[in-house]
A and B are shown apart, each in its own frame.
Chain A
Amino acid sequence: MVSPILLIAVPLGLAFITPLLGLARKGAPRYVPAVAMLFNLLVSVSLLPDALRAPIVVRTAGWAPPFSIHLVAGPLGLLLSSLIALIGLLVAVYGMDYIREGATTRYHVLSILILVGATGVVLTGDVFNLFVFFEILCISSYALVAYWGDSASVEAGAKYLIQGAIGSSFVLIGIGLLYGAFGALSMADIAANVSSVSSFRLFVSLAFLITGFGVEAAVFPLNAWLPDAHSSAPSSISAILSGIAIKAGIYAVARVVYTIYGAQSILPFVALLSVATLLIGEMCAFSQNDIKRLLAYSSIGQMGLIVFGLAMASATGVSAALFVVISHALAKALLFLASGYMILRTGSREVSSLNGMGTRMPLTSLCFTVGAFSLVGLPPFVGFASKFMIVRAALETADTFFVVLLAIALIGTVIEGAYFLRIVQGLYFKPAPQQAREETRKEPPLSALVPVGVLAALIVAVGLYPGLVERALGAAANDLLDRDSYVQNVMGD
């Protein structure tokens, strides 16, 4: 059996030698991310059946878990790492032709490392290691946001960096407090001893950790950086940031809240925040004229939905939230990738410039429509199945609080439907602007069409047969909620 640690070590080694390859052959680096992510996808998927039976605990340096860093490749970790590898592979294929200007070799290096960071975050079982991989993810995204080097992207990068740096300082304080109180850094070790420390101290460290990770997770008061960063980055990177990076942030928050602290009492507050996030995101998206900014705000709205599902703390709720993670990652990656070439061809990011694209770039527009309908939650796409599961979970709790919040969340979905249908209407039923450029009639190259098509096919396939992922979702939700068996698996007794 291959060790899950290869999911991190092999792409890391490839990233280190990519600059050398770039010196030797100019065109070689652009294939490296695809190779690394193909490897990750194969390994993650092949390990998933084993992990569904029992989590794989990987020790480093040969010492038993609490005394060295260990990875916990449970159902949740491997499910997310498969998702990361899948999206990463498609984006890497897309990036081969999309990224032509600037420091292309370095772009490919950073695009591997951002995915390595996300994979490390979902697999690690150590708090400080979580922080380190989180920084790998964040710092490479600061640099990639500023990749085009125009005034907007540099400014967005600086803004993202300042907020992210404050967030990571907060995380570090939280970790320091944990180490001071428990003398341990392994999540399982801390979780086993959590009741031995006064609840006030726990609350303070939890507050620092949630605030710190919440910056990356874009939960309501901490998401000022997101629209700028996601809209100024190259479209391929926007797809990774929206599809994966913020999910890694929310994973970190969920791991801390559920596994380490088992803090169920703060969840109503989190649920309120999540609905606020959702409404604000959707309302801001509704008023946008810039297509990438609109998609970025819609990501904030969907994050609200995910957090809402997580806050229910029931098995159905958490699996529904994870289902939304998957459906949103697929759909939002598709939308950013498809709109990337539309923007490139039209030369404008105005929503109105997409008018009439339905006849000019029919395949891309068709896939874009699939993604948009899935996000809105129309059957038979995966978005419908995931949103339906959220509704079911909220009704299952039979708690008036959650049912009222659900009603508000559904209003958000209506707003979402309004602006996405407006775009789709523009694509097909409005005439192209008079001065439309001739090159807008050209479909993107095959390296872009294939990832977009694969994503659209996946959205339809999983939407029609949700059973494909449901078993893994249930196991993953259990992995997150069942603290005792997590501790037992890691500590071994």
Chain B
Amino acid sequence: MRRLISLSLLLIVALGISLCFSGAYFGAEGANRAGKLAQDRVNFGQRYNSRGLEENGAGNIVASVVVNYRGFDTLGEVTVLFIAAVGLAVVLSTRREKPARVRAEPASLVVFTGCRFLFPLILLLGSYIFIHGHLTPGGGFQGGAVVASGFLLVYLGCRGKGLRSAGFTVTESLSGLAFVVLALVGLAVGGSLLLNFLPKGSALTLFSGGVIPIIYVAIGLKVGSELGSIIANLSGEAP
């Protein structure tokens, strides 16, 4: 009963807050911004939608926003994930009480073979998603998450096949470095970090968008290996 009362109270508060912020002058729909929609000078979203294709050559406007217009955020975001992977290893590595080694029942032949069969396919799907990030929904983060799910499947289905964490370390360092170096090349070529300095290609084909697909591949590899190393650390396989 108490719970019911407090939850309904919360609902009322939520209603109150949201009533303040709905209405004609809020959000992309608000009349205030709708009035400015035509002006590219004022409205971000509208400007990106109408000019993004010619400026960056990528069909997926969200990809241009993520990698180009707000690419600096993405650099920070990749760093946050890197911190999580490193920090998780720090927190778990000082553990004195080793996790009790439960002798895991080996998976049946069907599960084991199925996982080994699916693993490369999942990696392929993940790579497809991040390579085509500038054309279709998805991108580096989504593709990286799919790749990491492949590692999770190996952990769940193929007990005893340890995940090698040195490989993850190398991949994540190199792909992170690739991102920073690509950004710095933009600075060296055109005087501004993350500049899209490559030719834009013909729109809506795989080879378009300048540096966007290249950066997305780096992000995909980095996210995949970081989430993979998080899984390896949490599963206790890594040292």
| Chain A residues within 8 Å of B, Cβ to Cβ | 3, 5-6, 9, 12-13, 15-20, 23, 58-63, 66-69, 102-103, 106-107, 109-110, 113, 116, 120, 128-129, 132-133, 135-136, 139-140, 142-144, 146-149, 154, 157, 177, 180-181, 183-185, 196-198, 200-201, 204
Interface centre among A16, A142, A154 (most CB of B within 10 A): A16
Docked CA distance A491–B136 (Å): 34
10 contacting pairs across A/B (C-beta < 8 A): A9-B180, A61-B69, A62-B196, A67-B48, A68-B69, A106-B89, A110-B90, A128-B73, A149-B91, A157-B91
Other-chain contact of A146, B28, B30, B91 (Cβ < 8 Å): B91
Q: Which residues of A contact B25 (CB under 8 A)?
A: 181, 197-198
Q: Which residues of B contact A198 (CB under 8 A)?
A: 25
A92 to chain B, nearest CB (A): 17
Docked CA distance A196–B36 (Å): 13
Q: Is B95's CB within 8 Å of the partner chain A? A: yes
Docked CA distance A63–B56 (Å): 12
The answer on a CB contact under 8 Å between A23 and B21 is: no
Q: Is B104's CB within 8 Å of the partner chain A? A: no
Main secondary structure of the interface of A (DSSP, over half): helix
- 14 extra interface residue pairs, beta carbon distance < 8 Å, beyond A106-B86, A110-B86, A135-B80: A9-B184, A17-B177, A62-B196, A68-B72, A69-B70, A113-B83, A128-B70, A128-B73, A132-B76, A136-B76, A142-B87, A180-B28, A196-B32, A198-B25
Docked CA distance A177–B18 (Å): 11
Q: Which residues of A contact B172 (CB under 8 A)?
A: 16, 19
**Closest partner residue, chain B, to A22 (CB atom):** B169
Interface centre among A107, A154, A180 (most CB of B within 10 A): A180
| Chain B residues within 8 Å of A, Cβ to Cβ | 17, 20-21, 25-28, 30, 32-33, 36, 42-45, 47-48, 68-73, 75-77, 79-80, 82-84, 86-91, 93-96, 166, 169-170, 172-174, 176-177, 180-181, 183-184, 186-187, 190-196
B44 to chain A, nearest CB (A): 6
Docked CA distance A106–B187 (Å): 29
Q: Which residues of B contact A135 (CB under 8 A)?
A: 76, 80
The answer on a CB contact under 8 Å between A132 and B77 is: yes
The answer on a CB contact under 8 Å between A20 and B21 is: no
**Closest partner residue, chain A, to B48 (CB atom):** A67
Main secondary structure of the interface of B (DSSP, over half): helix
The answer on a CB contact under 8 Å between A61 and B79 is: no
In the A-B complex, the 6 residue pairs with the smallest Cβ-Cβ separation, listed nearest first, are A143-B87, A149-B94, A16-B176, A132-B76, A13-B180, A69-B72
Docked CA distance A16–B77 (Å): 13
Docked CA distance A109–B89 (Å): 12
**Closest partner residue, chain A, to B17 (CB atom):** A204
**Closest partner residue, chain B, to A150 (CB atom):** B94
B113 to chain A, nearest CB (A): 33
Docked CA distance A110–B177 (Å): 16
Q: Which residues of A contact B184 (CB under 8 A)?
A: 9, 13
Interface centre among A3, A19, A181 (most CB of B within 10 A): A19
Q: Which residues of B contact A12 (CB under 8 A)?
A: 75, 79, 180
Docked CA distance A17–B32 (Å): 47
Docked CA distance A116–B169 (Å): 21
A330 to chain B, nearest CB (A): 27
The answer on a CB contact under 8 Å between A16 and B196 is: no
Docked CA distance A450–B122 (Å): 53
Docked CA distance A189–B21 (Å): 21
The answer on a CB contact under 8 Å between B83 and A110 is: yes
The answer on a CB contact under 8 Å between B28 and A183 is: yes
Docked CA distance A198–B84 (Å): 39
Docked CA distance A362–B106 (Å): 63
The answer on a CB contact under 8 Å between B90 and A146 is: yes
Given contacts A103-B89, A106-B86, A148-B94, contact A5 B187 (CB under 8 A): yes
Docked CA distance A133–B73 (Å): 8
Interface centre among B21, B71, B192 (most CB of A within 10 A): B192
Q: Which residues of A contact B195 (CB under 8 A)?
A: 61-62
Given contacts A19-B173, A60-B192, contact A67 B180 (CB under 8 A): no
The answer on a CB contact under 8 Å between A149 and B95 is: yes
Docked CA distance A409–B196 (Å): 53
Q: Which residues of B contact A180 (CB under 8 A)?
A: 21, 26-28, 30
Q: Which residues of A contact B193 (CB under 8 A)?
A: 3, 5, 9, 58, 60-61
